[in-house]
Amino acid sequence: MPGYFAPDSMVARAMRQRVVGLSWGQRALVVGGLHPRLFVGTAQHTAHRATPYTRLALTARLMETVFLGTKEEADRALAFTAKRHVPVEGTMGVDGGPAHPAGAHYSAADPGLMWWTAAFALDSVEFMYDALVRPLRPHEREELFDGFVTWARLFGMPGSAAPASYPDFRRRFDAWLFSDEPHLVDEARLVGRNIAGTSGYHLPGGAPTSETLRTVVQGSLPPLVRDHYGIPWSAAHERRWLAVRTASRLAHGRLSLLGPTPFLRGKSESFYKVVQRGEQSLVRRGGVSIPGVSDITPA
């Protein structure tokens, strides 16, 4: 049974690349943490405050299902998400800066916030594909943008909430990033720094990930974002990031010439499940996933 996105569409091709599937979510969460109403609205209503990695993995699985699954699978994911979004409405319980003061209203049904959710995902999928697979061509960027607009509309966003074109999206996104609006609330800073691996990148359950993953996540962040989070970045860090990026591009370019490469392409669902199981096992044993965050009592 076909899905909503053709297998040869740019968005499906991008999401099937495992280096993209295993890295875009961390980057999107860290960059998106600078949007206070998106972060606080999620944090104040989440059922996964004690298991933040589970929420990240669940979000990635739902997105992957809509992009790569059948229409039946995608419809189940869309219905599940819609149900979870119904109660997400309220006011900022903390100060998020001049553009998002305490008491500001948020809602999962707000068209503008719906687009920002898609925008952070699009920006990160685009960046990771560029950096780790190959640079996208101009028409591919437009196709990727169109795919994410379609995706957001499947979740209920009116088409008018999206920018008119990829260049318009890029101008608006970059203008926001370099404006005075991005702001980190304390919880977002803790979550983002942990997801970015500032304390030694460990998956829930104590299994350490490679230094390479930390280099990829931190290296992918715009310098301005690293500055907001206080993530140190030296010339040695930059050299490691450039080496990883170059090696990944070479591997994808050369191995693709040899024919099918299933270990480079496919769904990343099994990895997301490993992260969820590890975190849930940790919590069952009385552990805390992100100290200072996952032990907060929800409002």
Alpha helices by DSSP H, listed for 196-234, are 211-220, 223-229
Would the pLDDT of 50 be above 80?
no
Q: Rounded mean pLDDT of 243-266? A: 78
Burial 8-43 (b: 16+ CB within 10 A, else e): ebbbbbbbbbbbbbbbbbbbbbbbbbbbbbbbbbbb
**130 pLDDT tier (thresholds 50, 70, 90):** very high
Q: Which of 45-49, 51-55, 69-73, 295-299 has the highest mean pLDDT?
A: 69-73
Q: Mind listing the pLDDT tens digit for each residue in 176-195? A: 999 999 999 999 999 999 88
* Cα-based distances in Å from 143 to 14, 45, 89, 102, 262: 11, 33, 32, 38, 24
3-class DSSP state for residue 196? coil
pLDDT at 65: 94
pLDDT at 207: 43
Q: Rounded mean pLDDT of 106-112? A: 94
**272 pLDDT tier (thresholds 50, 70, 90):** confident
Higher pLDDT among residues 106 and 265, named by residue: 106
Q: Rounded mean pLDDT of 53-59? A: 84
pLDDT at 51: 80
**153 pLDDT tier (thresholds 50, 70, 90):** very high
Mean model confidence pLDDT for the chain: 88
Q: Where are the domains of the chain?
A: 10-284
**10 pLDDT tier (thresholds 50, 70, 90):** very high
Q: Considering the chain, what percentage of its residues have pLDDT values greater than 90?
A: 65
Are the C-beta atoms of residues 161 and 168 closer than 8 Å to each other? Answer: no
Would the pLDDT of 205 be above 70?
no
pLDDT at 278: 81
How many angstroms separate the CA atoms of 20 and 200, rounded?
22
Give burial (CB, 10 Å; 0-12/13-18/19+) of 48.
buried
Q: Rounded mean pLDDT of 250-259? A: 73
